[in-house]
Structure 1
Amino acid sequence: MPVRTVVWGENIHENTSALVRSIYPDGMHMTIANALNSDAAIKATTATLQEPEHGLSEARLAGTDVLVWWGHKAHGEVSDAVVERVARRVWEGMGLIVLHSGHFSKIFKRLMGTPCALKWREAGERERLWTINPRHPIASGLDESFVLENEEMYGEQFSVPEPLETVFISWFQGGEVFRSGLTWRRGAGNIFYFRPGHETYPTYHDANIQKVLINAVKWAHNPQGDLKSITDAPNVPVEKAHEPITERGPKLHQPGKAGYR
C-alpha cells in the first residue's frame, strides 16, 4: 500500500505574486505532490489554508500517513484547533515534514516547544548542501553535496531542540552555515525539517530536492500503524495490578475516576 501523503500549502504567494505564479503556476503544493507521485510507493494529495478546516479534517488526517507542511505569510491564520489535531496525529504516529519557512509555523513550534528562530537574508545566494549523514535513508542516492544557485539564506543559531540526527548542513555564499536537515521523534511520530524552498526560486523543481522529499516521506512513514493510546492516562484499579498488592494510605481519586489534566 502506498504511503498516504498530504502536502499542505499556504497557497497565498502563488495567488498574489506574479513572480511566484510564474515559477509555480499550479502552486508549490502541487509541484511537491507531483514530485512525490513520481514514486509508485507514495500517493500524494494536497490541502490548503483556504479550504474548510484548512483541508485537515479529523477524517482526512486519520487517513494520512505523512503530512508535508509549507507555510510563510499566514502562520497566525492557521486554526489552533487544527494545530492540536495535527499534533495529536503526530503523537499517534503520523509523520511530519516541515519545509523552509514552516519553521515558524504553529505546528512546528508546538511540537518543538522552542522559538524556532534563525537568521535570514533574501539575496538569491548560492547554497551548497552537504550530506553529512550519507547512510541515513533521507540521504539515499545523493552525492556528497549539491548546489542551489539561488536561495534565501538561513543562518545559525537555529533555536530548536537538539535533533536526533543531522542529515544536511548548508553553506551560503555570504559565509553563513545552517543545519538544513534535522530529525526528531515526538510520541510515535517521526519529524523532518528541511530548509530549502523559498517561494521566489524554483527550488522544488530541482531533482535533488525532489529526491530528498521522496526519501523523507518514506522515512517518516510509520508502518507499525497508529498508537491511539498514547494520550491516555488510565486509572489502573488495584485488582488489575500485574502483581498482587494491598491498597493502603489516603488517596484523592476513587477507583475508575479520571485524573486531573
Structure 2
Amino acid sequence: MNVLVWNENRHEQTNTVVAENYPNGIHGAIAEFLKEDQINVKTATLDEPEHGLTDDVLNETDVLVWWGHKAHNEVKDEIVEKVHKRVLEGMGLVVLHSGHFSKVFKKLMGTGCDLKWREAGEKERIWVVDPTHPIAEGLGQYIELEQEEMYGEHFDIPTPDELVFISWFEGGEVFRSGCTFKRGQGKIFYFRPGHETYKTYHNTEIQRVIKNGVNWAKPSKTATPVYGNSKPLETISEKAIVK
C-alpha cells in the first residue's frame, strides 16, 4: 500500500510551539508512525510544485492523508479537481482536524463543512460509538486528551455513512469526530483531533486510529464498474412493436 501524507506545512515555519511539537512537520510525524506498520509512505507539502500532488504521484497513491488549516484557499483548484477525480476512482482519503474546511473535503461533501470552535486547551473525551468498526480496532471505550481545540456541533456535513467516534469537551460541547463516507469508488474517513499547538499526533491511541483509518480506506480489490451503453449478455428475442 502506498500512502501519501499531505500537509500545508505553514504553522511549522512561523510558530515556535508547533515547530517544537513537530520538528519534522506534522506530515513527518504522521509518516513516521505509519511506517511502523510496514506501509510505504511519502510526504508532500503546499509549497512544492503542484503542491507535491502531480499526476504521477496521485496515480501511485492508494490512500491520501490530508492536514491543512491556514492556507486552504492557496490550494489550486486544478489540483483539487485531480484529487477529487482520484477519490472517485478509488483512492482512499483520510482528512484530519481542520482539513474539514479544505477545498477537497468540501467538494466531496457538497456542504459548507462549518462548525463551532474554541481554542482553550480543554479536555476532550473521544467515545467509541461503533466498537465493531475496523477503525476502532485495538481501542478501549474512549480516548482521553488532556488538551485539544474544541469543535462543536452543528457540523455541516452530510449524514455520515458510519459514525465511529463522538467527542465530548470540557466546556460541554459534543462533536461527530470520526465519520466515514463513500464517494464513487473511494472511501473517506474524517478524524477530528490534531490541533497544531498540541502534541496530539504523539498519542499512541490517536496514531492507532489513523493507522486503522488508512487501512480501512485503501482501495477495494474489486472490478472497476463499467458505465455507458452496454451490449446484452443474453440474446434478446424479437418482439412485435405494439402500435
Bin of the TM-score, shorter chain as denominator length: over 0.9
Residues 92 and 226 of structure 1 are in contact (CA less than 8 Å); yes or no, is this contact kept in structure 2? no
In the alignment, structure 1 segments of 5+ residues that lack a partner are: 249-261
Q: In the TM superposition, what are the counterparts of 1:13-24 in structure 2 within 5 Å?
A: 13-24=11-22
The one-letter amino acid paired with 2:122 is: E
User: Counterpart in 2 of 1:216?
Assistant: 213
Q: CA deviation at 1:222?
A: 1.5
Unaligned runs of 5+ in 2: none
Equivalent pair of 1:66/1:97 in contact (CA under 8 Å): yes
Structure 1 residues 97 and 245: alpha-carbon distance in aligned structure 2, compared to 1, 3 A threshold = farther
Give the root-mean-square deviation of aligned CA atoms.
1.7
Aligned residue in 1 for 2:26: 28
Quote the residue 2:36 is aligned against.
38
Change (3 A) 1:226 1:217: farther
**CA distance change for structure 1 residues 64 and 226 in 2, over 3 Å: closer, same or farther?**
farther
Q: Which portions of structure 1, spanning 4 or more consecutive aligned residues, are displaced by more than 4 angstroms?
A: none
Which secondary structure state, in structure 1, belongs to the residue aligned with residue 36 of structure 2? coil
Write the distance in 2 (CA, Å) between the matches of 1:95 and 1:179.
20
Indicate yes or no: 2:177 matched with 1:180. yes
The alpha-carbon deviation at position 223 of structure 1 amounts to: 3.6
1:64 and 2:61 equivalent? yes
Question: Which secondary structure does the structure 2 equivalent of 1:185 belong to?
Answer: strand
What are the Cα deviations for residues 73-117 of structure 1, in whole angstroms up to 9, with x where unaligned? Answer: 000000101101001100000000000000000000000000000
Shift of 1:215: 0.4
Paired position in structure 2 for 1:9: 7
Task: Quote how far apart the aligned CAs of 1:241 are.
Answer: 4.9
**In the aligned structure 1, how far is the partner of 2:215 from the partner of 2:82?**
22
**1:140 pairs with 2:137:** yes
TM-score (norm 2): 0.94
Deviations 1:171-222 (A, max 9, x none): 0000000000000000000000000000000000000000001000000012
Post-superposition Cα deviations, 1:229-260, rounded to whole Å, max 9, x if no partner, equal 67xx64x38xx4554679x9xxxxxxxxxxxx
2:70 aligns with 73
Output the CA distance in 2 between the equivalents of 1:196 and 1:114: 21
Amino acid at match of 2:120: A
Contact 1:93/1:226 (<8 A) preserved: no
Residue 149 of structure 2 aligns with which residue? 152
* Cα distance change on mapping 1:226 and 1:25 into 2, 3 Å: farther
Q: Partner amino acid for 2:167?
A: S
SS at match of 1:209: helix
Distance 1:245 1:105 in 2: 54
- Give aligned pairs, total: 238
> In structure 2, how many angstroms separate the alpha carbons of the residues matched to 1:50 and 1:62?
20
TM-score, normalised relative to structure 1: 0.87
State the distance in 2 between where 1:44 and 1:209 align: 18
Percent sequence identity is 58
Q: Is the 8 A contact 1:100 1:194 kept in 2?
A: yes
- 1:43-62 CA-partner distances (Å, limit 9, x unpaired): 11100001111111111010
